[in-house]
């Protein structure tokens, strides 16, 4: 059974930075897409960034380009979300997710993911 555990959330002032981690266990890490999503109160869950852990191919949502980056440590089965220049509108619960079966294209929709972490709260104060 694949398990994902996020950490690193917290409270930060606008303009600050946070780094989230997502540790995966239960299967080989490399080759699958690992995505970061977020969900703010009253809003739908949305994609932030997704990376294929073998190739490093990455897709960024427009609202995070230039501010957020994703990286991975395949030896540790961990992906990281570095968030810089945070804004109050980035406040949300952040989730990492992965697929049961690897696909050719990078998955960008919630329904394309099978395994989810418990989420970590990120709060950005103005």
Model confidence over 39-73: pLDDT tens digits?
999 999 999 999 998 888 999 999 998 999 999 99
The two tokens of residue 102 are 């690897």
How confident is the model at residue 30, as a pLDDT?
77
**Are 90 and 49 in contact, with CB atoms under 8 Å apart?**
no
How confident is the model at residue 47, as a pLDDT?
97
CA distances from 3 to 44, 83, 89, 117, 120 (A): 23, 23, 29, 7, 15
How confident is the model at residue 76, as a pLDDT?
92
Q: Residues of the chain whose pLDDT is less than 50?
A: none
What values do phi and psi take at 94, rounded to 5?
-105, 130
Nearest to 118, CA basis, from 33, 32, 4, 23: 4
């Amino acid at each position: 059974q694949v398990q994902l555990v996020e950490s690193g959330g917290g409270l930060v002032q606008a303009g600050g930075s946070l780094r989230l981690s997502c540790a995966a266990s239960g299967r080989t890490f490399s080759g699958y897409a690992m995505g970061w999503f977020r969900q703010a109160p009253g809003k739908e869950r949305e994609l932030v960034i997704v990376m294929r852990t073998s190739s490093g191919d990455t897709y960024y949502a427009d609202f995070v380009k230039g501010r957020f980056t994703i990286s991975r440590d395949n030896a540790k089965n961990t992906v990281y979300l570095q968030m810089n220049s945070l804004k109050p509108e980035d406040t949300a619960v952040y989730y990492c997710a992965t697929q049961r079966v690897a696909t050719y294209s990078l998955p960008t929709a919630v329904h394309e993911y099978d395994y989810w972490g418990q989420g970590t709260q990120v709060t950005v104060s103005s």
